[in-house]
Amino acid sequence: MFPTRRNSAGDIRYCGPMGGFLHRMALIVAVAGMTMAAGPAVTAASDGSAAQQLVQRVTSTIIDELTARRDALESEPRAVYELVDRLILPHFDFERMSRRVLGKKGWKKATPEQRTRFVAAFRTLLVRTYAVMLNEYRGQSLTWRDPVPRRKDDEIVIPVTIELAGGEPAQVAYAMHGTGTDWKVFDVAVDGVSLVRNYRSSFRSELARNGIDGLIASLEAKNSAMN
């Protein structure tokens, strides 16, 4: 589903239709917080500020751990799975993401057991994907921009521009929902391209051929292969 190859240094790289998108996704979580202390003050409304500050706080913690444990993580790259699972994914709404990935029709047709299995497999896929990519973090810089309200009162977009060496800056936007200090990510867009829409497009043919059980089995097999 997501073919990989290794570069000359032995690092795993994604190739195929989603390869470039996923590789740029490496910077979404890996970078967004390292320059928080030097970044601009947050001037948006209080609810938008709370969501933005959550993203900044979490990613700052991630950068601290990546820096402190760099040697250990380079010798055992899979150790970053725990870091991703502990620090990043609790702030993602995987049920909401899964509903959007499967689409209204696909989610409605799935049984409660199938929904549970799909959410678990999709979550594990993102753990593995983020783990591979976080190991590529090498000190890129970023600029936070003001939060952007969405049409629904409980949704906000947190944009950030990431400077890439030798390339155009990446425009990243976290779509979040919540209230007060309780916010969760339900989509991430890189250069205007949605993570959820890309996975939905990627999974569509598998769903058509083999149904939800076939898709789940495929995800579980891919997750096992990445262990």
* The pair of three-digit structure tokens given for residue 152, joined into one six-digit string: 């629904």
* The pair of three-digit structure tokens given for residue 195, joined into one six-digit string: 């993570």
The pLDDT of residue 43 is above 90: no
pLDDT of residue 165: 67
Residues 15 and 4 sit within 8 Å (Cβ to Cβ):
yes
The pLDDT of residue 25 is above 80: no
Structural domain boundaries of the chain?
A: 15-225
pLDDT of residue 50: 86
Confidence of residue 40 (pLDDT cuts 50, 70, 90): very low
Task: Tell me the mean pLDDT in the region 6-28.
Answer: 41
pTM for this model (two decimals): 0.76
Highest mean pLDDT among 23-32, 33-42, 68-77, 93-102: 93-102
Domain 15-225: which CATH number of 3.10.450.710, 3.40.605.10, 3.40.1410.10, 3.30.70.360: 3.10.450.710
Task: Indicate the range of 29-43, 77-91, 153-167, 187-201 predicted with least confidence.
Answer: 29-43
Cα–Cα distance between 133 and 143 in angstroms, integer? 20
